[in-house]
Amino acid sequence: MNVSVDELNGASADHVSARGESSPRGTRSLAAWEIASVVSSALVAEWAVLALVGFSKLWLAVPVSLAAALMIASHRARGETPRQLGWRFDNLWGSLRVQYVLQAFINRRAQEIFGAGWRSVLLVALLFGLLHLPNPWLSAATFLGGLVWAHSYQRAPNLFALALSHAVMTWVLVSTIPSDALHGLRVGYKYFG
């Protein structure tokens, strides 16, 4: 009878780790204990600590910090990368995706055509404004924002800073311009609906 190394280590073929490899039974047991520990820390924080000492955030920090330390140590012990954990660009808010398309793609390609400077910045801003037609307020705001963001990206590329600025600008528009003028931030065909 042939026995594989995985079978000797207690792994079953139906369990696969995040890296696509079989995990030994001991690793699965450890993972179960880790889950139980984190969940019990949350329960202790929510039920025991709040009931015994009130709503002091200082006391809540103890079980929460212990759970966080366990999770970080577990990720490191398994060699899990931030990408494997889901800390990726593709699952962040919409303004980051918009700035990626606008800057990391359109701006960089515009620089290949015109070089860095006002012509490529102007093209990026014009395209961004056009994409927000026929909404006049949004087209004007995105044109102006596009000028600032394209120039900033050419000086110091940082999609996170631009996305934060984009989100804040959206909040400023929604907070200061009457909602009927913004048409619910609708663009394209939806603007008329």
Is the full-model pTM beyond 0.85?
Answer: no
What is the residue extent of each domain of the chain?
Answer: 5-85, 91-192
C-beta atoms surrounding 111 within 10 Å: 19
Q: Is the pLDDT of residue 86 over 70?
A: no
Read off the tokens for 144. 């102006």
Say how far apart CA 123 and CA 104 lie, in whole Å.
14
What's the mean pLDDT in 108-117? 90
C-beta atoms surrounding 120 within 10 Å: 22
Tens-digit pLDDT profile for residues 133-160:
899 999 999 999 999 999 999 999 999 8
Q: Is the pLDDT of residue 90 over 70?
A: no
Q: Which residue is associated with the tokens 């002091």? A: 56
